[in-house]
Amino acid sequence: MMKFSFVALPLALSLVTVSPGTAQAVETPVGETYTLKQSSEYALSTKDFFSEKTSAESNYIEAASPAEAVAKMNMMDELRQAGFNVGTMAKVNYGPCKIVAEGFHTRKSGKYETGGFKSTIYCTKKVTAIHHSSQARFKRLAWWVKGGRAIGQPAQKIKAGKHNGTYYPTVFQQTNHALTCKSAKTTTWSGRTLGTIVYNGKTYYADAYAPVQKGVRCRL
């Protein structure tokens, strides 16, 4: 978790644009397999600490690259932690979707010898493309350590569904995040998902954190 600094406040308040990288999303119809030319591992490695109060739900924001999106989202996290109303202060364009991450757990499909977490996207409108890239983290002393590589999954099956009583015409859940547990020693786990969508020709990003789960019987 990055510490809030009043020196950085003017930048955070204005959410100045970070120099965009060369990464670009490929606009491809939802339902087809495709590759997003982005460095999700870089984006997912910008925070080495997790807050136990970090939001498991995040809205999508428009950005020119994953690096720029993560810089904006990190600034927004700092504002929230400092008690500011991000919704009225942040100069960002929001997409029609939100992403929700579930807690890390051992998976029945892997005979409880694998662990992972799921992230689901809910959209109020149909989008052109969806991609998730998730990376788990486990706690060692005061540090959060990467739990394996970032695992990506493009949307191949899209369906409608409800979340908290609200109907969404586009729902997609990442289901392929699984890590092999080397032992059943209890471990504290979390994780982060970087989500990408293409909507009306523009690319939007969101990052959601898996709620911190203590005592999971999975150790890498």
> What would the pLDDT profile of 73-87 be if each residue is shown by its tens digit?
778 777 777 877 766
- For the segment 99-155, what is each residue's pLDDT rounded down to a tens digit? 999 999 999 988 999 999 999 999 999 999 999 999 999 998 878 888 888 999 998
**Alpha helix locations (H) across 82-180?**
86-89
For residue 62, pLDDT beyond 90 = yes
Q: What is the pLDDT of residue 142?
A: 79
CB atoms within 10 A of CB 190: 25
The confidence band for 1, taking pLDDT boundaries of 50, 70 and 90, is: very low
The confidence band for 95, taking pLDDT boundaries of 50, 70 and 90, is: very high
Instruction: Return the closest-CA partner of residue 202 out of 71, 69, 87, 101.
Output: 69
When pLDDT is averaged across residues 159-164 and rounded to a whole number, the result is 84
The confidence band for 47, taking pLDDT boundaries of 50, 70 and 90, is: very low
* Nearest 10 degrees: Cα torsion 100, 106, 107, 111: 180
For residue 172, pLDDT beyond 90 = yes
Which residue has better confidence, 30 or 168?
A: 168
The sheet with strand 57-62 has its strands ordered as 143-154, 129-140, 183-199, 202-219, 57-62, 94-101, 119-123, 166-173, 159-163
Q: What are the start-end ranges of the E strands in 6-158? A: 57-62, 94-101, 105-106, 114-116, 119-123, 129-140, 143-154
Q: What is the pLDDT of residue 92?
A: 81
Contact of 156 with 33, CB cutoff 8 Å: yes
When pLDDT is averaged across residues 156-175 and rounded to a whole number, the result is 87
Instruction: Return the closest-CA partner of residue 152 out of 190, 181, 195.
Output: 195
* Nearest 10 degrees: Cα torsion 134, 86, 49, 25: 30
Q: Both tokens of residue 128?
A: 């052109």
Contact of 101 with 122, CB cutoff 8 Å: no
Q: What is the pLDDT of residue 217?
A: 96
When pLDDT is averaged across residues 190-211 and rounded to a whole number, the result is 92
Instruction: Return the closest-CA partner of residue 139 out of 209, 212, 47.
Output: 212
The confidence band for 30, taking pLDDT boundaries of 50, 70 and 90, is: very low
DSSP secondary structure, 50-63, as one string: --TT--SEEEEEE-
DSSP secondary structure, 164-215, as one string: TTEEEEEEEE-----EE-SEEEEEEEEEEEEEEEEETTEEEEEEEEEEEEEE
Task: Give me the percent of the chain exceeding a pLDDT of 70.
Answer: 73
The confidence band for 72, taking pLDDT boundaries of 50, 70 and 90, is: confident
Q: Both tokens of residue 52?
A: 């136990």
Q: Which of 74-78, 164-168, 188-192 has the lowest mean pLDDT?
A: 74-78
Rounded CA-CA distance 209/144 in Å is 13
When pLDDT is averaged across residues 166-175 and rounded to a whole number, the result is 92
